[in-house]
Structure 1
Amino acid sequence: MPLSCTHLTVLYGRRKALDGFSLAMEKGEIRALIGPNGSGKSTALQALAGLIVPSGGQSEIEGVAVASMSRRAIARKLAFLPQQPTAPNEMTVAQLVRQGRFPHVGLFRSYDKKDEEAIEWALESTGLTELAGRTLQELSGGERQRAWISAALAQEASILLLDEPTSFLDIGYQVEVLDLVHRLSRERGVTIVMAIHDINQAIAVSDRISLLEKGGLRFDGEPEALAKAGLIESIFRVKGNFVEVAPGKPPHFDVELTKLTRPDA
Structure 2
Amino acid sequence: MKRLIKQNILKFSISLYRTLFARKIFFNFNKLMYTLSLRGMGVLNFENDNLSGENLFLKKVSVICNNSVIVDVGANIGCYSNKARSFTSSANIYAFEPHPQTFKKLQYEANQHKYIALNTACSDESGTLKLYDYEDSDNGSSHASLHRAVIETIHKGASKSLEVNVTTIDEFMKDYKISNIRLLKIDTEGNELKVLKGAKQAISEQLIDIIHFEFNEMNVISKVFFKDFKDILINYSFYRLLPDALLDISEYSPIYCEVFAYQNIIAINKSFLPQVKKYFNF
TM over 0.5: no
- TM-score normalised by L of structure 1: 0.37
| Structure with the largest fraction of helix | 2
Higher relative contact order (CA 8 A, sep 6+): 1
- TM-score normalised by L of structure 2: 0.35
